[in-house]
Amino acid sequence: MVTLRTQVGIIGAGPAGLTLAHLLHLQGIESVVLERQSREHVETRVRAGVLEQGTVEILIGSGVGERLQREGLQHRGVQLRFDGKSHRIDFQELVGRSITVYAQQEVVKDLIAARIGYHEPIFFEAEATQVADFDAQPRVRYQQDGASHEIACDFIAGCDGFHGICRPAIPAAALKIHERHYPFAWLGILARVAPASEELIYTYHERGFALLSMRSPEVSRLYVQCDPGEDVNHWPDDRIWEELRTRMATRDGFVLKDGPILQKGITPMRSFVAEPMQAGRLFLLGDAAHIVPPTGAKGLNLAVADVRVLTRGLVEFYKSKKRDALQQYGERCLRRIWKAQRFSAWMTSMLHRFPNEDDFSHGIHLAELDYVTSSRAASTTLAENYVGLPFDTPGLF
Ligand code: FAD
Ligand code: PHB
């Protein structure tokens, strides 16, 4: 078995692993990235679409934002729709910031191209099977082309998503898990049709939540609330469009044109936090440590925020051998994570129809939406959280 030596062994080439590898490279810190899927698979996986301004600034500031600046769609607000009417939350006017719609797989493509461009190691179809000795001399074992390999490193970055191997490698007694499951899921589609609105529309309807988003001037991304155990085969294209039209209808005749559906999938909704996000020299980042329901559009942004904190800690360690920032890694990340959890849970409960919801709950739902869209204080709260709360530690980019 060949053993490779590096400073940071990174497991997972999603937004967390790739951004970390990139920022470390710019700081002169070596890493090896392992990804169990093929390059094509990760570059075409349809996931998030909304980037906070802080995320955009990190990508641009670190030199991978050229296409993002050209192709990303800057949005100055969103619409909340209920009772047949749309209400605009104007981020720019309320908090002076905005968001950018740019698909996660495009961020992933840009980061992979950068990594390959400067010839740093990234292995696809290389599955990490074990992380060991992370209290002293960390090692990562992995399988590639049917053979076993090993990486010896100073630190392991567990960027391997919710179903990865890093979180389960930490003894259960050393982790506290906080979890909530929601009694609904999202059925998401990507369709070749011009978006019916320039801005995202979050809709609350008696039949359930619906969301209109987009990927480009020609491609729409839409979601409808469905049952968590739903089989996607029970949702032929006509049924999806019909349901979207019913939920998104307005009294002034909103028109939703359909088009060929390019991709269809069901996403369960959960909130999850594993504390303290680190054990010895193993750090968890992004979905490996936390999941938010997608209603607040926070998942990818939180992954990048974790990377920002860990990069600072590793730079401090390699420059001065100080471990303070590394030791505070989880604590620093968790302050932001819990606020994003709070915001995502609030958006989720405000915009979804719960099973057995009675008239009283429906009345409260409408009153809350009415309040949020008519009170400047409440709209500002939504806007401030949606565009991304300020970072409370200085960044390197
Ligand atoms: P992942 O993207 O899951 O990457 C983990 C990587 O690790 C994967 O490539 C996986 O193949 C690899 N891996 C796993 N195990 C191993 C192993 N043993 N060895 C090697 N590699 C391994 N977030 C937002 O901010 N805004 C949104 O609008 C938004 N919308 C969403 C919509 C949907 C439908 C979904 C599903 C998610 C959405 N999210 C959104 C969440 C966002 O996609 C995730 O939070 C984000 O992907 C997290 O990045 P990550 O790098 O932590 O994990
Ligand atoms: C998306 O475009 O995929 C998207 C947008 C907003 C969300 C979730 C997903 O809250």
Residue 1: predicted pLDDT: 77
pTM over 0.85: yes
Is 318 known to be catalytic? no
Among 202, 204, 223, 329, the active-site one is 202
Contact present, 103 and 46 (Cβ < 8 Å) = yes
Name the pairing type of β-strands 50-52 and 99-101.
Answer: antiparallel
State whether the beta carbon of 167 lies less than 6 angstroms from ligand 1.
no
- The two structure tokens encoding residue 360: 């009283």
Among 293, 294, 329, 352, the active-site one is 294
Sign of CA dihedral 169, 172, 178, 182: positive
Residue 392: predicted pLDDT: 82
State whether the beta carbon of 286 lies less than 6 angstroms from ligand 1.
yes
Among 22, 75, 109, 205, the active-site one is 75
Contact present, 279 and 331 (Cβ < 8 Å) = no
As a whole number of angstroms, the distance between CA 195 and CA 101 comes to: 12
As a whole number of angstroms, the distance between CA 324 and CA 322 comes to: 6
State whether the beta carbon of 103 lies less than 6 angstroms from ligand 1.
no
Is 257 known to be catalytic? no
State whether the beta carbon of 164 lies less than 6 angstroms from ligand 1.
yes
Q: What is the DSSP letter of 254?
A: -
Per-residue pLDDT of the chain (397 residues; tens, 9 = 90+): 778 999 999 999 999 999 999 999 999 999 999 999 999 999 999 888 999 999 999 999 999 999 999 999 999 999 999 999 999 999 999 999 999 999 999 999 999 999 999 999 999 999 999 999 999 999 999 999 999 999 999 999 999 999 999 999 999 999 999 999 999 999 999 999 999 999 999 999 999 999 999 999 999 999 999 999 999 999 999 999 999 999 999 999 999 999 999 999 999 999 999 999 999 999 999 999 999 999 999 999 999 999 999 999 999 999 999 999 999 999 999 999 999 999 999 999 999 999 989 999 999 999 999 999 999 999 999 999 999 999 987 777 7
Contact present, 7 and 153 (Cβ < 8 Å) = yes
Name the 3-class secondary structure at 18: helix
Q: Is 369 exposed, middle or buried (CB count within 10 Å of its CB: 0-12, 13-18, 19+)?
A: buried
Is 298 known to be catalytic? yes
Render the burial of 290-308: b for 16+ CB within 10 Å, e for the rest.
Answer: bbbbbbbbbbbbbbbbbbb
- Beta-bridged to residue 212, according to DSSP, are 201, 222
| Contacts of residue 166, Cβ cutoff 8 Å, sequence gap at least 6 | 11, 128, 131, 156, 158, 160, 282, 284, 288
Supply the residue whose CA is at minimum distance from atom 14 of ligand 1: 160
Residue 4: predicted pLDDT: 94
State whether the beta carbon of 313 lies less than 6 angstroms from ligand 2.
no
Is 202 known to be catalytic? yes
